[in-house]
Amino acid sequence: MRNEERNLPECLRSLRNSFDEIVVVDSGSTDSTRAIAADYGAIVLDFNWNGAFPKKRNWTLMNHAFRHPWVLFLDADERLTESVIEELRCVLPDSTHVGYWLQFDNWFMGRPLRYGDLFRKLALFRTDAGMYERFPEEAWTNMDMEVHEHPVLRGTIGEIRSRLVHHGYNGMAHHIAKHNEYSTWEANRFLWLESANPEVWGALTPRQKIKYKRLATWWLPWLYFASAFVLKAGFLDGWCGWTFARLKMRYFDEIRLKILDMKREQLKRPVT
């Protein structure tokens, strides 16, 4: 994380008294992020990305000796709830899985979205089970942390039913700018996957395979909206649910348009 003094206290407060080891990986913060982490008793690791592999989470897995076999990766704008912590206490000691999907109540425009296409990520796994997927993204991104990448794990994966809380909304301008960056990343990855070998495709999750095989189609944004807003009852979140689904629909369409634009640029390049 970097310059997260606004979000970090609530995140760490949700972990205090429940976790034996808390590690904050900092990318050169200039605000009070490091001091806040120290106040909560967290170990602070300094990460300076050189533009190549590994990025932040893989670097942490490779360089930090965790006290326990399980690691939970959280962003500063994410919070654990008592129900999640209690479920972890019940599930992990006798677990036969190597990882768990986590679901979120996503806060948007000042209220939680409890319906629609729920946000989830594979953020809890055994440290000896694998690492985040690796591909040559350095040419198209300056993000120093694995944002869209999933861990590639050796073993079965379960799901935590209780939901975390995600406070990722920092105003509409920030939301749109962030997703503009993400859509460029997705378009570049789509083009790379088109020529990737079967082994690369085999490492993708089932949802990733569905998405990346259809990202360039005109109908995927409309299908997403119908699924999230209608079939998954996003309409029950009212105006916020409508706005979120429409923006996500626009996001998928922007990826498609960027893919088309990048392919046109590729055709213009001289053959050497």
Q: Which residue pairs from 193-200 have beta carbons closer than 8 angstroms and sit at least 24 positions apart in sequence?
A: 196/135, 200/135
How does pLDDT run across 92-110, given as a tens digit for each residue? 999 999 999 999 999 999 9
Least Cα distance to 261 among 182, 162, 181, 191 occurs for 191
**Mean pLDDT value of segment 145-165:** 94
As a whole number, mean pLDDT of residues 152-176 equals 95
Mean residue pLDDT across the chain: 94
Q: What pTM, to 2 d.p., does this model score?
A: 0.91
> How does residue 203 score in pLDDT terms, banded at 50, 70 and 90?
confident
Rounded CA-CA distance 39/32 in Å is 11
Decide if 31 contacts 106 (C-beta within 8 A): no
From 21-35, 66-80, 189-203, 241-255, the region with the lowest mean pLDDT: 189-203
- Separation CA 261–CA 89 (nearest Å): 49
Domain residue ranges in the chain: 170-272
> pLDDT tens digit string along 39-58?
999 999 999 999 889 999 99
Give the per-residue pLDDT at 138: 81
